[in-house]
Amino acid sequence: MPDPDPILLLEDVRYRWPGRRAFGLHVGQLSLARGETVLLLGESGSGKSTLLSLICGTIAADAGRVLVADTDFAKLSPGQRDKFRAEQIGLIFQQFNLLPFASVRDNIALPLQFAPKRRARVKDPSQEARRLCRELGLPDDVITTRAGTLSVGQQQRVAAARALIGTPPLIIADEPTSSLDAETQESFLELLFAQSRAHDTSLLMVSHDARLADQFDRVIHMTEIAQTLRDAA
């Protein structure tokens, strides 16, 4: 039964990196309900990050439709696309998430700068950043330190706080735990889940690690939704 109001919907999307014939991506159908947590599994090089770039609108599909919160990226100008991304999506990468020279607070507040609606949902960005840090188990004084001085595990939590601030409806995480050791990995995920559940946020997380599967509402394999062409056609 199709979801009447998915936060994310991809239909018959095709993409090929310019000048690279060897790799192509074709996604038949992918949808994500509001508040749903989904783990997307796939081998390295299978096109997971490419798919996330399509969802974030930083690359445009060659064919098909990408809808985030009922809005088709193809109908937006590049500038609107950037703003829309900031409004709708909280992003966490595998590593190098933060501006190392900026304070933790400024890093967390950064997306609000480009997303007025998200900014409007936050009364006091400084307070909210502090609260999120506390919720994510970071020490209280971390807020004013330079992000570059934190440990990798702490940096990932700050990235999570940044994705959560202003409660965007969709959080996308590209292998956020692969640079963490097993223990940190677990607590990081717990905290992320707790926060996204609290705000009814959808979570799409990409990984090549199947052990995380049981914590998610749903698990999808790249092979189920996408065809990747690796041969030079």
Ligand X SMILES: Nc1ncnc2c1ncn2[C@@H]1O[C@H](COP(=O)(O)OP(=O)(O)O)[C@@H](O)[C@H]1O
Note the residues at the interface with ligand X (CB under 6 A). 17, 20, 23, 42, 44-50
Amino acid at 163: A
Q: Which is nearer to another protein, 7 or 54 (CB)?
A: 54
Range in contact with another protein (rule: CB under 8 A) among 29-37, 39-47, 82-90, 201-209? 82-90
Interface residue with Mg ion, options 14, 16, 49, 134 (CB under 5 A): 49
Interface residue with another protein, options 24, 42, 47, 111 (CB under 8 A): 111
What's phi and psi for 101, nearest 5 deg? Answer: -85, -15
CA-wise closest residue to 84 among 69, 63, 64, 65: 69
Q: C-beta of 183: minimal distance to another protein in Å? A: 27
Q: C-beta of 56: minimal distance to another protein in Å? A: 6
CA-wise closest residue to 114 among 87, 95, 75: 87
H or E stretch at 100? none
74 near another protein, rule: CB under 8 A: no
The dihedral sign for the CA sequence 195, 98, 8, 185: negative
CA-wise closest residue to 114 among 147, 77, 89: 89
Binding site for another protein (CB under 8 A): 49, 53, 56, 58-59, 78-79, 82-83, 85-87, 91, 93, 96-103, 106, 109-111, 113-115, 146, 148, 162
